[in-house]
A and B are shown apart, each in its own frame.
Chain A
Amino acid sequence: MKRFRRILEKFIEGILLSSSTITSLTVILIILFLFREGLGLFNRSPLEHNFIIAVSKQNPVQDLSSDQLKAIFNQDITNWSKVGGVKDSIILFTINDITNYFSEEELGASLENLPQKLNEFIEANPGALMHVSEKYLPKKFNGHTIHVKNISVGDFLFGKQWYPTSEPIPSFGIWPMIIGTFLVTFGALLIALPLGLATALFLAEVADIRLRNLVKPLVELLAGIPSVVYGFFGLIVIVPLIQGLFKLDVGETVLAGSIVLGIMALPTIVTIAEDALRTTPLSLKEASLALGATRWQTLRKVTIPYAKSGISAAVILGIGRAIGETMAVLMVTGNASNVPHSFLVPARTLPATIAAELGEAPYGGLHFKALFALGIVLFLFTIIINLTVAYIRNREKK
């Protein structure tokens, strides 16, 4: 019998061990995958694989920055003299334009004449700027390729433009989203903190047990509502309210996101802070009261200081909840990729961008990798938040 029990214990031990191993391995694998995909964005050409930018042989221009190329393809720059070339207007050409210059018959049934026609085209149009696949270049090409600068971490973090699908040069600048994410989160905290802590205090110290048993489940219920419901509520109720209240042109603003997120972070803050407040030993409180302190004095001088670490944890976990939230923010902040300069303008956040775009970004492409790089940035933010929680808890223990 004893032996049997020992085997059973070993068996259960084994199950527990393998479960925890599987969990840790999964987490590590996901992180590895995130970094592998995300880091693939950097130190490579912003052009899609195998594609090049080329100009005629006579053209003196040798390299162009991504910004110049973008301006050219956006038709803001239309003359070569603006980018250091001769005075000649720029003719934009992508491979799909070839049918405007040559008929399908001339190109051949399986496009076998294409390389030769590309040569004819560049000879006839010395002002052309070509965006074509390397594969279809003729062996003796009458032009030269233009060198384009690689994507750097600095451009990614501090770039102000986000045009991930722009052809031929996409822009991956996430600065507006970093600022947007911080502003929305900060606003959410301004709303959720006073409200959440006050509720926690009320539940832990003021409310009688019947009221507490009614209110606490209600607050916790907030955590169970799907975030898309919050988003929809925000879009239909909060957005027009803000628009009317502040007489704005647009109601989809940082503030709308902050309010919705604030409501969503409430259950986390209330539950954890209240639990922390209730861990204060009764003997401490009774001692304070016995010394003649009032209930309010006891609360301020004994209960809150004792629960400080728990309250801090509640605050930081609330931030964590707000910073990673996706769907609700996606629906109410407007997602314009401008750098927001106040709470009353639209903004775009990191998680909302990933959610909105990952579904249709071609697997393995630059856009796909850029979204994973966004994931890395977000991951680092949450890691920092969690480390802060651990640090505060440890410090309090000492």
Chain B
Amino acid sequence: MALVAISASVFAQKVNFKIKGSDTVLPLTQKEAEVYMKKNAGSSIMVTGGGSGVGVSALLSGTTDIAQSSRSLKLDEKMKLNDAGKAFTEKIIAYDALAVIVNPANKISKLTREQLEGIFTGKIKNWKEVGGEDLKIVVYSRETSSGTYEFFKEHVLSKKNFAPSALLMPATGAIVQSVSQTKGAIGYVGLAYLEKSVRALDVSFDKGKTFTAPSVETAKSKKYPITRPLYYYFLKTNEKKVSPFLTFVLSPEGQQIVLKEGYVPVQ
């Protein structure tokens, strides 16, 4: 887990707190914290990963001030916070879109959600079943512990399990590399990881009526369906402490960083 902790001389809007949680949000938060600390010398923001669930339980136990999460709180997590008498605030700081990618040699350019479900759960095994050439489909996925895996499973596979034959890659970069060198491959990656060596598919969540290509614009307008909000959660009692940083993240400058890191800005 990466760790950023910088402190310098005393100045201006000094803040000192910890952020913990989702590995999807981690690179973004790190960058934001870095820029913020550079602008406000003397501030110290410690950012660590560990997964969305880890962040929320840290918020509950009081070992972090902000929990970063790539999903909204589950009901049982809300209950636990309620039980502990901790009122919290939820802030969406950016959006992340997942692109479904194939090898550039593949002639397929669009798929419906139902087709994607069939492919990723192993019911559809050959590209000719969805109108492509006679070629075996090779499914690439992230590891089970990744938030991206969970999101894709819940959102695209209607909570069904991935096929046991799916190849689980340790990093998003490895998925891009493998899809680019395997002709029958299909995989999914965050918008930020899209490259020329792979091709993103248009997807339809209304049974084939409209297909949308993934891009910052379509994700922003919510036209692209595989989009998820990224959240910061913090306790109401901590609001004063974290609000200067939060204001910065949501400011035009902070949102510019969001865009630069490959995520989708809120406004």
Q: Which residues of A contact B (CB under 8 A)?
A: 70, 73-75, 95-96, 98-99, 110-111, 114, 133, 136, 160-167, 176, 235-236, 239-240, 243, 249-252, 330-331, 334-338, 346, 348, 355-357, 359-362
Contacts and interface: CB of A to CB of B under 8 A. Distances in A.
B108 interface: no
A359 B145 contact: yes
Contacts of B169: 335
A210 B17 CA distance: 61
Contacts of B146: 360
Contacts of B166: 336
Question: Which A-B residue pairs are the 5 nearest by beta carbons?
Answer: A360-B145, A334-B167, A335-B168, A360-B51, A249-B136
9 contacts: A95-B76, A110-B82, A136-B79, A165-B149, A165-B150, A336-B164, A336-B167, A348-B168, A356-B170
Contact of B82 (A111, A250, A337): A111
Contact of B177 (A114, A136, A236): A236
Given A75-B160, A161-B164, A331-B174, 7 more contacts: A165-B149, A235-B177, A250-B167, A338-B165, A355-B170, A356-B143, A357-B143
B158 interface: yes
A185 to B, nearest CB: 20
Interface string B46-70: 0000110110010000000000000
B91 interface: no
Nearest to A337: B164
B171 to A, nearest CB: 9
Nearest to B85: A110
Contacts of B167: 250, 252, 334-336, 346
Contact of A249 (B23, B53, B182): B182
A140 B249 CA distance: 49
Contact of A357 (B78, B135, B144): B144
Interface string B132-171: 0001101000011110011000000011110011111110
Given A95-B76, A250-B182, A362 B165 contact: no
B240 interface: no
Nearest to A109: B82
A360 B185 CA distance: 26
Contacts of A99: 75
A75 B164 CA distance: 16
B178 A163 contact: no
B181 interface: yes
Size class of B's contact patch? 35 or more
B1 interface: yes
Interface in B165-212: 165-170, 174, 177-178, 181-185
Contacts of A362: 51, 53-54, 57
A73 B182 CA distance: 32
Contacts of B75: 95-96, 98-99
A163 B181 contact: no
A243 B181 contact: yes
B145 A252 contact: no
Nearest to A136: B79
Contacts of B183: 249
A179 to B, nearest CB: 13
Choose among A136, A161, A249, A346 the residue with the greatest number of B CB atoms under 10 Å from its CB. A249
B244 to A, nearest CB: 30
Given A164-B144, A249-B136, A330-B170, A96 B74 contact: yes
B129 to A, nearest CB: 15
Contacts of B53: 362
B138 A250 contact: yes
A110 B166 CA distance: 41
A362 B74 CA distance: 16
B168 A356 contact: yes
Contacts of A360: 23, 50-51, 54, 145-146
Interface in B78-105: 78-79, 82
B145 A356 contact: yes
Contacts of A243: 181-182
Given A95-B76, A111-B82, A251-B181, A74 B160 contact: yes
A239 B181 contact: yes
Interface in B193-240: none
